[in-house]
Amino acid sequence: MTSKNQDLFARAQLTTPGGVNSPVRAFRSVGGTPRFITRAEGPYFWDADDCRYIDYIGSWGPAIVGHAHPEVVKAVQQAAARGLSFGAPTEGEVLMAEEICRLVPSVEQVRLVSSGTEATMSALRLARGATGRDKIVKFEGCYHGHADSLLVKAGSGLLTFGNPTSAGVPEDFIKHTLVLDYNNSRQLEETFKSIGHDIACVIIEPVAGNMNLVRASSEFLHTLRRLCTEYGTVLIFDEVMSGFRVALGGAQALHGIRPDLTALGKVIGGGLPVAAFGGRADLMQQMAPIGAVYQAGTLSGNPVAVAAGMTTLKLIQAPGFYDSLGVQTTKLVQGLTAAAKEAGVTFCADSVGGMFGLYFSATVPTTYAEIMAGDKDKFNLFFHAMLDAGVYFAPAAFEAGFVSAQHDDAVIDATIAAARTAFAQLAG
Ligand SMILES: *Cc1c(COP(=O)(O)O)cnc(C)c1O
């Protein structure tokens, strides 16, 4: 007998490539049948076969206050009743911009968009427009959405420009994109020394979350800030994932660094499509309609999405919100680490705020190469053992995990208990 998940997956593949609307959902990395989700509440979601899972992806970050939070749902319902979209400005957008600027002080002006991809793509265009330079720098393993010039992996050596990571991206589009090693200050210095005056911007995930969790060292980020200032290069922090996730003010607050531009997304939409880019007012003033850099969006600042985002931004400012989120996330990674050790499985874990990484390696990775050296087969076995036990981790070894404010002690303890069994199976 096949399950409803299997039925839906078979049907989905007839009309949708791979059966999914975003690749990682397809379970291709871990194998097996993706779970089709029917509902979610707090730290849980349920699949089409009515199996309940403790959810550690939280929609890849947005569900920071827990799924279907009553206040968020109410705000969305009320906004929807007043009309779904106007194509004209609303007070909600003013309030949201004011709130973002207040919470992220480097953001003096901001524009709302509908996806992280749009946010980074627009920030890049602005940086190029403002500097009159074409070259951009990104780091291996960082993901910034699927804009052409960012779908690039490292070339064969330092100062060789990158190779496309997707078919359909012309060499011509990426010939200006240089890919450097994450956390390699020396390589960064050398690059700036040789071509710094041609670099429009450097874009970075200050806490990387798309090659699994990898922290940038403070020394690396401060070197980056110094070099960008020295060479008139725009520093873009892509905090689509880390913003309002690792701390209220994002990774820039943790490191005390002011980027020139910041891309936001995920948490600021609270589960609906809101993203944003913003930063120095003198840069943002170069955006249309007052400046020469064009960018637009039919559903940008959508009133229903803004209602979800604003309510989420209010909830995360409750006293002690991030302290408690950090404590729960630490409890989870420490518990998993102890369970692996008991079973004699090579494993470690790390977390920043409400975001965590699980690694089947002896030490916490600091680069893409170290991440790639982890034991992917072990991860896949662990993933499926946990899934069978009702715990849903990211279905790929190279993704971060997310804890919400609804992951209480009982939920964390249940996860660790399941992990003890899973690690024991791996060892045995
Ligand atoms: C998710 C993500 C993006 C892309 O956002 P979408 O809303 O999926 O387009 C960009 N940058 C980072 C760091 C992300 O985590």
Looking at the chain, the domain(s) classified CATH 3.40.640.10 span: 71-315
Query: What tens digit of pLDDT does each residue of 65-82 get?
Result: 999 999 999 999 999 999
Residue 34 has pLDDT above 80, yes or no: yes
Q: How many angstroms is it from 112 CA to the middle of ligand 1? A: 14
Rounded to whole angstroms, the Cα distance separating 240 from 273 reads: 12
Q: What is the CATH number of domain 71-315?
A: 3.40.640.10
The average confidence (pLDDT) of the chain is 96
Note whether 306 and 274 are within 8 A (CB).
Answer: yes
DSSP 197: G
Going by alpha carbons, the residue nearest to atom 8 of ligand 1 is 116
Note whether 56 and 391 are within 8 A (CB).
Answer: yes
Going by alpha carbons, the residue nearest to atom 5 of ligand 1 is 116
Q: How many angstroms is it from 343 CA to the middle of ligand 1? A: 36
State if residue 238 touches ligand 1 by the CB under 6 angstroms criterion.
yes
Peptide linkage before 289 cis (omega within 30 of 0): yes
Confidence at 157, pLDDT banded by 50, 70, 90: low
Residue 118 has pLDDT above 70, yes or no: yes
Residue 358 has pLDDT above 80, yes or no: yes
Q: How many angstroms is it from 210 CA to the middle of ligand 1? A: 9
Q: Which of 112, 121, 143, 204 to mutate to test the pocket of ligand 1 (most atoms within 8 A of CB)?
A: 143
State if residue 144 touches ligand 1 by the CB under 6 angstroms criterion.
yes
Q: How many angstroms is it from 264 CA to the middle of ligand 1? A: 8
106-120, 151-165, 186-200, 279-293: least confidently modelled range: 151-165
Q: How many angstroms is it from 236 CA to the middle of ligand 1? A: 14
Looking at the chain, the domain(s) classified CATH 3.90.1150.10 span: 4-64+319-427
Rounded to whole angstroms, the Cα distance separating 94 from 384 reads: 45
372: Cα within 13 Å, side-chain hemisphere:
5
Region 28-48 average pLDDT: 97
State if residue 210 touches ligand 1 by the CB under 6 angstroms criterion.
yes
The residues facing 264 across adjacent strands are 276
Whole-number pLDDT of residue 305: 98
Whole-number pLDDT of residue 172: 87
Going by alpha carbons, the residue nearest to atom 11 of ligand 1 is 144
Whole-number pLDDT of residue 2: 75
Query: What tens digit of pLDDT does each residue of 385-409 get?
Result: 999 999 999 999 999 999 999 999 9
Note whether 120 and 236 are within 8 A (CB).
Answer: yes
Which atom of ligand 1 is least distant from the CA of 273? 7
Overall size of the chain counted in residues: 428
Strand 199-204 and strand 234-238: the pairing is parallel
Residue 53 has pLDDT above 60, yes or no: yes
Whole-number pLDDT of residue 165: 87
One-letter identity of residue 372: M
Q: Which two tokens stand for residue 265?
A: 């997304």
State if residue 213 touches ligand 1 by the CB under 6 angstroms criterion.
no
pLDDT > 70 fraction of the chain, expressed in percent and rounded: 98
Confidence at 59, pLDDT banded by 50, 70, 90: very high
Rounded to whole angstroms, the Cα distance separating 245 from 268 reads: 10
Whole-number pLDDT of residue 153: 86
Rounded to whole angstroms, the Cα distance separating 119 from 108 reads: 16
Query: What tens digit of pLDDT does each residue of 297-329 get?
Result: 999 999 999 999 999 999 999 999 999 999 999
State if residue 120 touches ligand 1 by the CB under 6 angstroms criterion.
yes
Residue 159 has pLDDT above 90, yes or no: no
pTM of the model: 0.97
Q: Which CATH number fits domain 4-64+319-427: 1.10.150.120, 3.90.1150.10, 3.50.50.60, 3.30.200.20?
A: 3.90.1150.10
Catalogue the active-site residues.
Answer: 143, 238, 266
Q: Which of 117, 142, 237, 272 to mutate to test the pocket of ligand 1 (most atoms within 8 A of CB)?
A: 117
Residue 424 has pLDDT above 60, yes or no: yes
306 CB contacts (<8 Å, ≥6 apart)?
79, 90, 92, 93, 96, 112, 274
Going by alpha carbons, the residue nearest to atom 6 of ligand 1 is 116
Q: How many angstroms is it from 243 CA to the middle of ligand 1? A: 11
